[in-house]
Amino acid sequence: QVQLVESGGGLVQPGGSLRLSCAASGFTLDYYAIAWFRQAPGKEREGVSCISYRDGSTYYVDSVQGRFTISRDNAKNTAYLQMNSLKPEDTAVYYCAASEVKCSWFYQGYDYWGQGIQVTVSS
């Protein structure tokens, strides 16, 4: 059974940090681009970051550049999103997604999705 399972979300104060994990089962992440998307209440799902499988290139939306870091550990079949200096506007449900093709900010381009995990940044 193909699955992506996110973990590591929760409640954090502004300026704090969280590390999200995305564990894959039923397939190997080695040959997939991995992205993180998020969706806040009343807003569209937006791409946050992506890491390619070809050369490990990473991409970030401007609003998280310099604060978030995406990585992957193919040996553990897991991808990560380290989130530092969190802001209230980072509050959203975060999803990881896998694409056989390439990184894209369009959610339609992804083959597999996790169920999502809540991240809340509040004092």
Each residue of 44-82: pLDDT tens digit?
A: 999 999 999 988 899 999 999 999 999 999 999 999 999
pLDDT band at residue 41, thresholds of 50, 70 and 90?
very high
Each residue of 102-121: pLDDT tens digit?
A: 999 888 889 999 999 999 99
pLDDT band at residue 34, thresholds of 50, 70 and 90?
very high
Question: Closest Cα partner for 84 from 20, 33, 2, 6?
Answer: 20
Of the CA atoms within 13 Å of residue 56, those in its CB half-sphere come to 5
Q: What are the angstrom distances between the C-alpha of 34 and each of 41, 47, 90, 115, 122? A: 23, 11, 19, 15, 28
Distance CA 122, CA 72 (A): 28
Alpha helix stretches (DSSP H) within 1-123: none
Q: Do 79 and 107 form a contact (C-beta atoms < 8 A)?
A: no
